[in-house]
Amino acid sequence: MKVYFIGAGPGDPELITVKGKKIIERSGYCIYAGSLVNPDILKYCSKDARKYDSASMTLEEIIAVMEEAKAKNEDVARVHTGDPSIYGAIQEQMLELDKRGIDYEIVPGVSSFLAAASTLKQELTLPGVSQTVIITRIEGNTPVPETEGLEILAKSKATLCIFLSIKEINKVVDILKPVYGAYCPVAIVYKASWKDEKVIISNLNDVVDKTIQNGIKKTAIIIVGDVLSKNFEYSKLYDKHFKHSYRNKS
């Protein structure tokens, strides 16, 4: 018996890994993060699987279901949105499983910031512009360490992928404008890869108004950075004047 922490991907039920889907199909239990996991993913469950929406459960209740599965020698598909390692609250679940000697494994998933980049048809790391992607958030119920405040991260001028912060878009803009400049491009992707996905392409000056006009209040990624302006140098990777270990002939 094992508990599998599975990344369900950003929404589109075809964006789960083959491995994750197979585990869901054969598990007797499925505990899913109902607030964000697309219900279509649950169609992969076997008809006899016991399903639990973790959105309304406490950690103790989640662990109790996992213990019950262990007693019955049944696998558990613990389905998280995107990739479980990003704001997934899996560490405490794993710690509790360690205490109980319950075996587990993680199956990665496509994080929503990657789905957002795909929607935008955008490379996040452009030569001459930015070679760094920062995943961060504005403080909410969960505090952000002082040394990681957005005003500090902004100094790098790296590509920012800001999770869990769309409600605070005002604050994000106020912090970033002095460093990135009022006309730095911003993209907001709401429900990337879902059927009701929405995209706003804007800049730090206008993005707050556009977000309000579009009624976007949750489930969105904010991407900020000059990569979105697409002024960049071509990569050396496919440059005919550049040789590397896979292409020695010019």
Interface with ligand SAH (CB under 6 A): 10-11, 36, 80-83, 86-88, 111-112, 115-116, 163-164, 189, 191-194, 219-221
DSSP alpha helix (H) spans, 45-199: 59-71, 91-99, 112-120, 150-154, 169-180
Give min distance, CB of 30 to ligand SAH, in A. 17
C-alpha pair distances (Å), 249 with each of 23, 139, 237, 244, 246: 45, 51, 13, 9, 9
The SS3 call for residue 7 is strand
The smaller minimum CB distance to ligand SAH, of residues 89 and 182, is found at 89
The SS3 call for residue 232 is coil
Give min distance, CB of 81 to ligand SAH, in A. 5
Give min distance, CB of 37 to ligand SAH, in A. 9
Give min distance, CB of 79 to ligand SAH, in A. 11
Main-chain dihedrals φ then ψ at residue 184, nearest 5 degrees: -65, 130
For residue 99, give both structure tokens: 């205490």
Give min distance, CB of 132 to ligand SAH, in A. 18
The smaller minimum CB distance to ligand SAH, of residues 23 and 70, is found at 23
> Are 9 and 15 spatial neighbours (Cβ–Cβ below 8 Å)?
yes
The smaller minimum CB distance to ligand SAH, of residues 1 and 90, is found at 90
Residue nearest to ligand SAH (CB): 82
Distance, C-alpha 54 to centroid of its chain: 18
Main-chain dihedrals φ then ψ at residue 235, nearest 5 degrees: -65, 150
Q: How many CB atoms lie within 10 A of CB 226?
A: 19
The smaller minimum CB distance to ligand SAH, of residues 70 and 168, is found at 168
Give min distance, CB of 87 to ligand SAH, in A. 4
The smaller minimum CB distance to ligand SAH, of residues 6 and 115, is found at 115
> Are 103 and 1 spatial neighbours (Cβ–Cβ below 8 Å)?
yes
The smaller minimum CB distance to ligand SAH, of residues 1 and 133, is found at 133
